[in-house]
Amino acid sequence: MSMKIGTDPFHERVETGINNSFMRGAVAGAQERLRTRRLEAAKELGNWEEWRALGEEIRQHTLEHLDYYLMQLSENVAKRGGHVFFAQTAEEANQYIRDVVIKKNAKKIVKSKSMVTEEIHLNPVLEAAGCEVIETDLGEYILQIDDHDPPSHIVAPALHKNKEQIRDVFRKKLAYNKTEKPEELALHARKMLRNEYLTADIGITGCNFAIAESGSITLVTNEGNADLVTALPKTQITVMGMERIVPTFEEMEVLVSLLTRSAVGQKLTSYITVLTGPRDEGDVDGPEEFHLVIVDNGRSDILGTEFQSVLQCIRCAACVNVCPVYRHIGGHSYGSIYSGPIGAVLSPLLGGYDDYKELPYASTLCAACTEACPVKIPLHELLLKHRQVIVEQEGKAPISEKLAMKAFGLGAASSLLYKFGSKVAPSALQPFTADQRITKGVGPLKAWTEIREFPAPNKERFRDWFREHKKGGEQ
Amino acid sequence: MKVTLFVTCLVDLFHPNVGKATVELLERLGCEIEFPEAQTCCGQPAYNSGYVKEAKEAMKHMIRTFEHAEYVVAPSGSCATMFKEYPHIFKDDPEWEPKAKALAAKTYELTQFLVEVLKIENVGAKLKGRATYHTSCHMTRLLGVKDAPFQLLKHVEGLEVIPLPNAHNCCGFGGTFSVKMGPISEQMVDEKIRHIEETEADYLIGADCGCLMNIGGRIERKGKPIQVMHIAEVLNSR
Amino acid sequence: MANGAIHNRDTFLQTIAKRLGREPITSTVLRPDWKHQPQWTVFQGYSQDDLLEVLKSQCSRIHTDFVATTADALAATLKQTVAQYGGGPVVTWNDPRFAEYRLMPLLQSEWPNEQIDVHIWDASAGRKNIEWAEKANVGITFSDITLAESGTVVLFSNSGKGRTVSFLPQTYIAIIPKSTIVPRMTQAAAYIHKQIENGEQVASCINFITGPSNSADIEMNLVVGVHGPVKATYIVVTDR
């Protein structure tokens, strides 16, 4: 699956992540800042819960009528002279884009940040077609010149790198000779990229929200790179996940307000650009030719299932920014370009359980993600649903766990069995017990006691005490 | 007032003192405590592991066990939350959904019961020292009980409550997560303990035995001089 | 302009309908009346003066200089601001408002006489305009709609209002008639939505610009001025 990053097994990726102390420091610091900013931005509005409810309602309505709105969108794009390609699979999308590139005899392509093109693994296809592909989002650019290091966060892709690492990469790859100051690094990138925009044949963008009523696409950035990518090259190709659509400008506005506040705590980002078709006659800048590629790539299989609400996602990463698991293991541990809670829900759906069966378990179900989500996706409940599917349909749960849970079902449903089991537990665990606690357990207790002490079951259960207490016995 | 105690399996088996404190506290406040012996577990371990069928058996058993109760009180935010989830889990089940709703409606977490139903904030407790309080995730985010514990602790004579930095962070328990994802859980609980240490508290107080077993077990393993107490025990101190 | 092509649509949409458990929708879907509409309550009842204050205070949060002036003093204010940015070359829209606000003498004689190059967008010159914009030190446009809450200028492109004027030059100045200020993006979106309902064609590019370009991609440190302008000034004309 193309959204996959790395080949190491899950527990090894986690170990690598946990041992990467710089990454963890960077992630923890970023989470703290972004979380605070998001809360402040929400507080400033005063009625954030109403906004969330509106966001949810808009997304649910749109998904329920998705075919209608995609029909309307495509008609309106075509009316304005743009071309629309509906791609069922990643391969179809890549094939179409490749064909456009070849037809245009393009040599240089500039891109603004797009998760879906990462998902369909577009860049290698373009490079194989003989193109130079340049990512222009600063974070993506850093990763690209660092031998295609994968993104670790859906909004801040280079979050895992520190400025010294970036300086070294710039020195090695871009003949950079200044310091690790972010201002100097950014200025250098600006200089390097300016010329690329001016000489590129094609600009490729993602799409934050398509607007059905007008056939427009909305791009949200702080850097302004999407404006340059779409204003200068003669051909523009925009790639969107099929669910990234709203009925009208009015819903776009609401979702953009939710997105920028949730992602970075800003009321709006510096550049929000709404583009409709190619440039108008008489216009000087903007593309002569516009292609919109609408990608399914597994999304339709989610529609109509218990997981449908995950398609409400507007890719703000608020869930990632509050996730304690993400904080300790970092984005690469998820093995997918989609990391954090949204990644743990989405990756198994788009990429299958074979590659991502551990992700639904990499959560304490603390619900910080659900609480943060601006469009009210019940993320922790969807993780639970995954576990249920893994147990009931996929049969991927370990046999020992199945037996234990069977026993649990019987035991907890029968007071007699429960009473008996709990009565004998202290003596069964006696060999491992010392001083009222268990330090070295066996079975599932072993994993617990590798980290912490475990209290030995009391000889006198609460129920035994209560019986005496009620009798008026001492205590 | 008649209170039916849902003591939770963790308390029953591992922390009977929490159950005792809950009973003594509520009795002192004038409640008559009833403990249905048939009670077992709310089903959360199985439910959160994806074993819904098995969990539902336990849940039905609990619904039957507490059917007669007027108020169900549990010294655990997480287990009380589970009862509150039953209607969602039995949705569209004509037989069990109404029963699940009835149970959910009368279930309270202990501190919530004290503040919202008994309308008591000062229970007359005394405990000398410096404490910090761990807000458990299910209790705050899902059950929505955020202030009650602090309102109660504020009135404990002699107790100074220091805010816990980054209190919103999970402690890393997560039921089976603590064993299935041991290395991640370890990082999370260590981070929690670092924040607890920053408060220089003598006591770590919580309202969920799951979290307390996790944090307490790690504190013990590391030999830190912090005493872990359930809020029922604190409120029952005199 | 000829209609574009649409490929593979039918099966794609049929698959969606099938997954949603119904036939493809063929009749018109009306947007529901959303149950919550908090967006309309933001700065409800604020006067134009109140909104100006909101805009002003927001400017300090978006690294943008705020200057208030009058229509009479606008040319002088603009001249001063450009001087602060180090002078020309200057690139501007070809927009009747420059004449309406009596800025043409500045653009056409005063600046050129002081050796400050001024390029007024000229569609007939084709891509030459982009070169001007790229070499310009200052880009100047009017704001079509201004959002107080976020400190945003909304720019609708057309043949005289090139897209790149606002983001290719080193610095950017927006002239904001006070009457263009609305509470927030809600009002701008509603205006555009109305246009569409009335069958009007929306501009091929609508820019919502909030201050200079910036990035926090390096260790979450804010760097102002990445791909677009490194500095921005809003000049509000308070009597228009």
User: Do B90 and B130 belong together in one domain?
Assistant: no
In a domain, A152, yes or no: yes
With CA atoms as reference, the chain C residue closest to A211 would be: C193
pLDDT in tens, B30-65: 999 999 999 999 999 999 999 999 999 999 999 999
Dig out the tokens for A8 from the structure. 């190491």
Which of B44, B84, B13 shows the shortest CA–CA distance to A405? B44
The residue from A295, A313, A338 where one domain ends is A295
Listed in sequence order, the residues at least 6 apart from A320 whose beta carbon sits closer than 8 Å to its beta carbon are A153, A154, A155, A326, A331, A339, A340, A341, A342, A343
Kindly report which listed range (A319-323, A391-395, B77-81, C86-90) carries the lowest average pLDDT score.
A391-395
Q: Is the pLDDT of residue A329 over 60?
A: yes
Contact by Cβ (8 Å): C98, C141: no
pLDDT in tens, A191-246: 999 999 999 999 999 999 999 999 999 999 999 999 999 999 999 999 999 999 99
User: Do B111 and B148 belong together in one domain?
Assistant: no
Average pLDDT over residues C201-224: 92
User: Do B111 and B129 belong together in one domain?
Assistant: no
In a domain, C9, yes or no: no
Q: Is the pLDDT of residue A475 over 60?
A: no
Kindly report which listed range (A33-37, A93-97, A291-295, B194-198) carries the lowest average pLDDT score.
A33-37
In a domain, C183, yes or no: yes
Contact by Cβ (8 Å): A267, A260: yes
Kindly report which listed range (A254-258, A460-464, B154-158, C86-90) carries the lowest average pLDDT score.
A460-464
Q: Between A429 and C237, whose confidence is greater? A: C237
Q: Strands, E, within chain B: which ranges?
A: 2-5, 32-34, 71-74, 107-109, 126-134, 157-162, 203-206, 227-230
Average pLDDT over residues A52-57: 98
Contact yes or no for C192 and A26 at CB 8 A: no
User: Do B109 and B145 belong together in one domain?
Assistant: no
Q: The tokens 């950035």 sit on which residue? A: A221
Distance (Å) from the alpha carbon of A141 to chain C's nearest alpha carbon: 10
Q: How far apart are CA A421 and CA A423, in angstroms?
A: 5
The residue from B116, B147, B173 where one domain ends is B116
In a domain, C109, yes or no: yes
Q: Is the pLDDT of residue A432 over 90?
A: no
Q: The tokens 């222009």 sit on which residue? A: A136
Task: Tell me, yes or no, whether chains C and A touch by having 3 or more C-beta pairs under 8 A.
Answer: yes
Q: How far apart are CA B169 and CA B172, in angstroms?
A: 9
Contact by Cβ (8 Å): B66, B4: yes
With CA atoms as reference, the chain A residue closest to B46 would be: A405
Q: Is the pLDDT of residue A441 over 80?
A: no
Position A7 scores a pLDDT of 85
Q: The tokens 């990234």 sit on which residue? A: A244
In a domain, A239, yes or no: yes
CATH assignment at residue A141? 3.40.50.10420
pLDDT in tens, A123-164: 999 999 999 999 999 999 999 999 999 999 988 899 899 899
User: Do B140 and B177 belong together in one domain?
Assistant: yes
User: Do B171 and B108 belong together in one domain?
Assistant: no
In a domain, C39, yes or no: no
Looking at chain B, which subunits does it touch, using at least 3 CB pairs closer than 8 Å as the criterion? A
Dig out the tokens for A81 from the structure. 């002279």
As for how many domains chain B has, the answer is 2
Q: Is the pLDDT of residue A318 over 70?
A: yes
> Which residues is C227 bridged to in the sheet?
none
Distance (Å) from the alpha carbon of A160 to chain C's nearest alpha carbon: 8
As for how many domains chain C has, the answer is 1
- How many alpha carbons lie under 13 Å from residue A469 in its C-beta half-sphere? 21
The residue from B116, B137, B153 where one domain ends is B116
Kindly report which listed range (A74-88, A155-169, A394-408, B147-161) carries the lowest average pLDDT score.
A394-408
pLDDT in tens, B169-187: 999 999 999 999 999 999 9
Q: The tokens 């940015």 sit on which residue? A: C85
Q: How far apart are CA C79 and CA C66, in angstroms?
A: 15
Cα B147 from chain centroid (whole Å) = 14
User: Do B136 and B188 belong together in one domain?
Assistant: yes
Dig out the tokens for B15 from the structure. 């922390």
Q: The tokens 């003591």 sit on which residue? A: B7
Angle CA A190–A193–A194, to nearest 5: 80
The helix (H) or strand (E) run that includes residue A452 is none
Q: How far apart are CA B206 and CA B134, in angstroms?
A: 5
Distance (Å) from the alpha carbon of B41 to chain A's nearest alpha carbon: 6
Share of chain B above pLDDT 90, in %: 96
Contact by Cβ (8 Å): C129, A285: yes
Q: Which domain holds residue A146?
A: 65-295
Collect all residues of chain C within an 8 Å Cβ-Cβ radius of residue A162.
219
What are the distances in angstroms from CA A321 to CA A221, A376, A455, B187, C9?
Answer: 18, 16, 34, 17, 37
Q: How far apart are CA C181 and CA C145, in angstroms?
A: 6
Q: What is the mean pLDDT of chain C?
A: 96
User: Do A284 and A424 belong together in one domain?
Assistant: no
In a domain, C107, yes or no: yes
Position A460 scores a pLDDT of 84
Position A272 scores a pLDDT of 98
Q: What is the mean pLDDT of chain A?
A: 92
Position A459 scores a pLDDT of 78
User: Do B67 and B89 belong together in one domain?
Assistant: yes
User: Do B112 and B134 belong together in one domain?
Assistant: no
Confidence category of residue A431, pLDDT binned at 50, 70, 90: low
Contact yes or no for A227 and C228 at CB 8 A: yes
Listed in sequence order, the residues at least 6 apart from A51 whose beta carbon sits closer than 8 Å to its beta carbon are A42, A45, A254, A257, A258, A374, C36, C38, C39
Position A402 scores a pLDDT of 82
Contact yes or no for B170 and A15 at CB 8 A: no
Position A1 scores a pLDDT of 44
The helix (H) or strand (E) run that includes residue A143 is helix A138-145
CATH assignment at residue B209? 3.40.50
Which of C111, C45, C109, C32 shows the shortest CA–CA distance to C79? C111
Q: Is the pLDDT of residue C184 over 70?
A: yes
User: Do B106 and B172 belong together in one domain?
Assistant: no
- 3 state SS of A389: helix
Listed in sequence order, the residues at least 6 apart from C29 whose beta carbon sits closer than 8 Å to its beta carbon are A65, A68, A69, A247
Where would I find the H helices in A237-375? 249-264, 318-322, 324-329, 340-351, 353-356, 368-372
Collect all residues of chain C within an 8 Å Cβ-Cβ radius of residue A247.
29, 31
Position A474 scores a pLDDT of 46
Kindly report which listed range (A428-432, B199-203, B217-221, C7-11) carries the lowest average pLDDT score.
A428-432
Which of B48, B175, B90 shows the shortest CA–CA distance to A387? B48
Q: Is the pLDDT of residue C12 over 80?
A: yes
Confidence category of residue C166, pLDDT binned at 50, 70, 90: very high
Collect all residues of chain A within an 8 Å Cβ-Cβ radius of residue B216.
452-453
Listed in sequence order, the residues at least 6 apart from A330 whose beta carbon sits closer than 8 Å to its beta carbon are A17, A20, A23, A24, A27, A152, A160, A339
Q: How far apart are CA A35 and CA A317, in angstroms?
A: 10
| DSSP code string of chain C | -PPPPEESHHHHHHHHHHHTTSPPP-SPPPPP--S--GGGGTTTT--HHHHHHHHHHHHTTTTEEEEEE-TTTHHHHHHHHHHHTT---EEE---HHHHHTT-HHIIIIIHHHTT--EEE--GGGTTHHHHHHHH-SEEEEE-SEEETTTTEEEEE--SSS-GGGGTSSSEEEEEEEGGGEESSHHHHHHHHHHHHHTTPPPPSEEEEE-SS-EEEEETTEEEE-SSS-SEEEEEEETT-
In a domain, A8, yes or no: no
Which of A293, A315, A108, A336 shows the shortest CA–CA distance to A205? A293
pTM of the entire structure? 0.95
CATH assignment at residue C155? 3.40.50.10420
Q: Which domain holds residue C189?
A: 48-237
Average pLDDT over residues A293-309: 98
Contact by Cβ (8 Å): A51, A257: yes
User: Do B93 and B154 belong together in one domain?
Assistant: no
User: Do B127 and B226 belong together in one domain?
Assistant: yes
Listed in sequence order, the residues at least 6 apart from C203 whose beta carbon sits closer than 8 Å to its beta carbon are A276, A280, C156, C157, C158
Confidence category of residue B135, pLDDT binned at 50, 70, 90: very high
Average pLDDT over residues B70-75: 98
As for how many domains chain A has, the answer is 2
pLDDT in tens, A330-343: 999 999 999 999 99
In a domain, C7, yes or no: no
A453: amino acid identity, one letter:
E
In a domain, C200, yes or no: yes
What are the distances in angstroms from CA C231 to CA A343, B214, C65, C86, C213?
Answer: 37, 52, 8, 12, 8
In a domain, C215, yes or no: yes
Q: Which domain holds residue B138?
A: 121-235
How many contacts does A have with B, using Cβ atoms within 8 A? 202
| DSSP code string of B83-150 | HHHHHHHTTT-TTHHHHHHHHHHTEEEHHHIIIIIS--S----EEEEEEEEE--HIIIIIS---SHHH
- 3 state SS of A275: strand
In a domain, A352, yes or no: no
Contact by Cβ (8 Å): B51, A409: yes
Sheet with strand B126-134: strands edge to edge: B157-162, B126-134, B203-206, B227-230
Quick check: bond before C89 cis, omega within 30? Answer: yes
In a domain, A38, yes or no: no
Q: Is the pLDDT of residue A434 over 80?
A: no
3-state DSSP helix/strand/coil percent for chain A, to nearest 5? 55, 10, 35
Confidence category of residue A428, pLDDT binned at 50, 70, 90: low
Q: Is the pLDDT of residue A307 over 50?
A: yes
Q: How far apart are CA A199 and CA A209, in angstroms?
A: 28
How many contacts does A have with C, using Cβ atoms within 8 A? 319
Write out residues 368-397 of A within 8 Å (CB-CB) of C: none
Contact yes or no for A412 and B40 at CB 8 A: yes
Contact yes or no for B221 and A452 at CB 8 A: yes
Contact yes or no for B183 and A370 at CB 8 A: no
Contact by Cβ (8 Å): C226, C215: yes
User: Do A416 and A276 belong together in one domain?
Assistant: no
Q: Is the pLDDT of residue A409 over 90?
A: no
